[in-house]
């Protein structure tokens, strides 16, 4: 069975107004200690063989070139050279990814970059609290291509406060003109604890849906495969690491707030940066949450993840036993549809997916 490796860097230059991830601005002085802690956790990990690698955050590209080199060398010592992974993704923000850092990543063997653009409009970027502007992104994208990166993913957000359908579509067209291999197009979610939430901002759900519908239509028309609710790829460039998540495969997460799933057990590390570093210095486990899903709960999670893939899933007899009534309910409502042997989200279901997903997560409603 294939296994994915995820490493989390919780550092960032500035917290975005929509971000509820474990990330901490202005704490770069702790990066050397954090790298030590990461290596300690890596050395204690029993799983040593992985097919995919994803370095996310936070902002991993905040690492200085020498720190990046140290990090890549640590991966090679503890696991394998980065070039040995089938897919190795490094997440970056435009303001901190320099040509020198790109060269380090390329030489180390990373074969995929994920760039956080979010909008092709400078005013919208400021609304989001992003540090970069559009030109910085364009310069970084050009530098990554010049360095030989042939698999680049770019993130875009729909539903930004003040965003119009015209500005969204203009940005989408400019992005398509760059021919990235992969696009993630997300509808903005305003989560508790974020500046957007504190300001009482709300999204125009109807406008956001129109944007996402247009993205679905226009990206497919120019050759992108809409393979997951928020993800589009040129054929053959679907994100292998993320597909592994949606297929409920096993993965190991290292770092502050990182999650792991192996042998049916889900674990999560402490989200407190200094607590994580202290625990690793003392040789203590950083895990603060652990649960083993069995029976209906495990099958429900498997289905919920599988339905994120737009080609759907073949329902097993065990899943039919546990969730046959729920599946029939959503087939009748039109949020799910049957195609051959598979059941999948309908076009309408793509935009109301959470109404489907809640049927497969405890506590389960009786139908």
Q: What is the CATH number of the domain that holds 107?
A: 3.20.20.70
The residue whose two tokens read 């405890």 is: 362
**Claim to verify: residue 66 and residue 207 sit in the same structural domain:** yes
**Torsion sign (Cα): 365, 335, 312, 117:** negative
Note the pLDDT of residue 338: 94
**Higher-confidence position of 339 and 191:** 339
Beta strand residue intervals within the chain, DSSP E: 3-9, 11-12, 24-25, 52-57, 87-92, 112-118, 152-158, 182-187, 225-228, 231-233, 250-254, 259-262, 265-269, 287-292, 313-314, 336-339, 342-345
Note the pLDDT of residue 1: 67
Element (H, E) at 31: helix 31-44
Q: What angle do CA 79, 182, 127 make, to 5 degrees?
A: 105
Report pTM: 0.95
**Claim to verify: residue 142 and residue 224 sit in the same structural domain:** yes
In a domain, 259, yes or no: no
**Claim to verify: residue 299 and residue 238 sit in the same structural domain:** no
Residue 275 has pLDDT above 90, yes or no: yes
Residue 265 has pLDDT above 60, yes or no: yes
**117 phi and psi angles, rounded to 5 deg:** -80, -60
**Claim to verify: residue 206 and residue 314 sit in the same structural domain:** no
**Claim to verify: residue 175 and residue 94 sit in the same structural domain:** yes
The residue whose two tokens read 């050759």 is: 223
Distance from CA of residue 6 to its chain's centroid? 11
68's torsion region: left (phi>0), alpha (psi -120 to 50) or beta?
A: alpha
Residue 200, exposed/middle/buried by CB under 10 A (0-12, 13-18, 19+)? Answer: exposed
Grade residue 361 by pLDDT with cuts at 50, 70 and 90: confident
> Which residues is 231 bridged to in the sheet?
184, 228
**Claim to verify: residue 236 and residue 351 sit in the same structural domain:** no
In a domain, 147, yes or no: yes
In a domain, 290, yes or no: no
**Torsion sign (Cα): 33, 35, 40, 41:** positive
Residue 290, exposed/middle/buried by CB under 10 A (0-12, 13-18, 19+)? Answer: exposed
In a domain, 266, yes or no: no
**Claim to verify: residue 201 and residue 306 sit in the same structural domain:** no
Element (H, E) at 54: strand 52-57
Grade residue 366 by pLDDT with cuts at 50, 70 and 90: low
Q: Tell me: the pLDDT tens digits for 148-164? A: 999 999 999 999 999 99
Note the pLDDT of residue 17: 66
Q: How far apart are CA 199 and CA 210, in angstroms?
A: 25
**Higher-confidence position of 200 and 247:** 247
CB of 56 within 8 A of CB of 9? Answer: yes
Distance from CA of residue 153 to its chain's centroid? 11
Q: Tell me: the pLDDT tens digits for 23-49? A: 888 899 999 999 999 999 999 998 989
Pairing of the two strands 265-269 and 52-57:
unpaired
DSSP state of 16: -
**Claim to verify: residue 309 and residue 215 sit in the same structural domain:** no
Q: What is the CATH number of the domain that holds 349?
A: 1.10.10
Q: Tell me: the pLDDT tens digits for 228-239? A: 999 999 999 999
CA-to-CA separations, 75 to 80, 140, 247, in angstroms, rounded: 6, 25, 25
Note the pLDDT of residue 54: 98
In a domain, 250, yes or no: no
In a domain, 171, yes or no: yes
Final residue of a domain: which of 226, 245, 264?
245
Distance from CA of residue 236 to its chain's centroid? 18
Across all residues in the chain, what is the average pLDDT?
Answer: 94
Note the pLDDT of residue 129: 87
**How many CB atoms sit inside 10 A of residue 325's CB?**
12
**Claim to verify: residue 216 and residue 315 sit in the same structural domain:** no
- Whether omega before 210 lies within 30 degrees of 0, making that bond cis, reads no
Q: Tell me: the pLDDT tens digits for 57-67? A: 989 999 999 99
Note the pLDDT of residue 28: 94
**Claim to verify: residue 104 and residue 169 sit in the same structural domain:** yes
In a domain, 256, yes or no: no
Q: How far apart are CA 156 and CA 231, in angstroms?
A: 10
CB of 46 within 8 A of CB of 97? Answer: no
**How many CB atoms sit inside 10 A of residue 106's CB?**
16
Residue 353 has pLDDT above 90, yes or no: yes
Mapped onto helix, strand or coil, the DSSP state of residue 22 is coil
**Claim to verify: residue 173 and residue 309 sit in the same structural domain:** no
- Domains of the chain: total: 2
DSSP string, 111-125: -EEEEEEE-S-HHHH
Question: Which domain covers residue 336, as residue numbers?
Answer: 295-360
In a domain, 199, yes or no: yes
Final residue of a domain: which of 227, 245, 263?
245
Note the pLDDT of residue 367: 56
CB of 42 within 8 A of CB of 254? Answer: yes
Mean per-residue pLDDT, 301-329: 94
CB of 69 within 8 A of CB of 20? Answer: no
**How big, in percent rounded to 5, are the helix, strand and coil portions of the chain?**
45, 20, 35
């Amino acid at each position: 069975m294939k296994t994915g490796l995820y490493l989390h860097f919780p550092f960032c230059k500035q917290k975005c107004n929509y971000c509820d991830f474990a990330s901490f601005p202005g704490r770069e002085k702790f990066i050397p200690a954090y790298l030590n802690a990461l290596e300690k956790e890596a050395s204690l990990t029993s799983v040593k063989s992985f097919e995919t690698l994803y370095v996310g955050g936070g902002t991993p590209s905040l690492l200085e070139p020498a720190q990046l080199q140290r990090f890549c060398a640590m991966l090679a010592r503890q696991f394998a050279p980065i070039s040995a992974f089938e897919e190795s993704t490094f997440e970056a923000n435009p303001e901190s990814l320099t040509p020198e850092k790109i060269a380090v990543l390329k030489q180390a063997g990373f074969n995929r970059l994920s760039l956080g653009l979010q909008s092709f409009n400078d005013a919208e970027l400021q609304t989001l609290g992003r540090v970069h502007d559009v030109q910085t992104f364009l310069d970084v994208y050009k530098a990554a291509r010049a360095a030989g990166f042939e698999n680049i993913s770019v993130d875009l957000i729909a539903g930004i406060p003040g965003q119009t359908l015209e500005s969204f579509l203009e940005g989408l067209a400019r992005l398509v003109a760059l021919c990235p291999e992969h696009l993630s197009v997300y509808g903005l979610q305003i989560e508790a604890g974020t500046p957007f939430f504190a300001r009482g901002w709300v999204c125009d759900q109807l406008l956001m849906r129109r944007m996402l519908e247009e993205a679905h239509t226009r990206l497919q028309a120019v050759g992108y495969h809409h393979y997951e609710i928020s993800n589009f790829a040129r054929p053959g460039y679907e994100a292998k690491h993320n597909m592994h998540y949606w297929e409920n495969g096993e993965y190991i997460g290292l770092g502050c707030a990182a999650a792991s799933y192996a042998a049916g057990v889900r674990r999560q590390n402490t989200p407190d940066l200094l607590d994580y570093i202290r625990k690793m210095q003392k040789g203590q486990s950083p895990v603060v949450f652990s649960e083993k899903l069995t029976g209906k709960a495990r099958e429900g999670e498997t289905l919920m993840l599988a339905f994120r893939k737009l080609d759907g899933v073949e329902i097993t007899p065990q899943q039919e036993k546990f969730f046959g009534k729920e599946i029939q309910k959503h087939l009748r409502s039109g949020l799910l549809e049957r195609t051959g042997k598979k059941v999948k989200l309908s076009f309408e279901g793509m935009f109301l997916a959470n109404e489907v997903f809640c049927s497969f997560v405890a506590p389960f409603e009786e139908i």
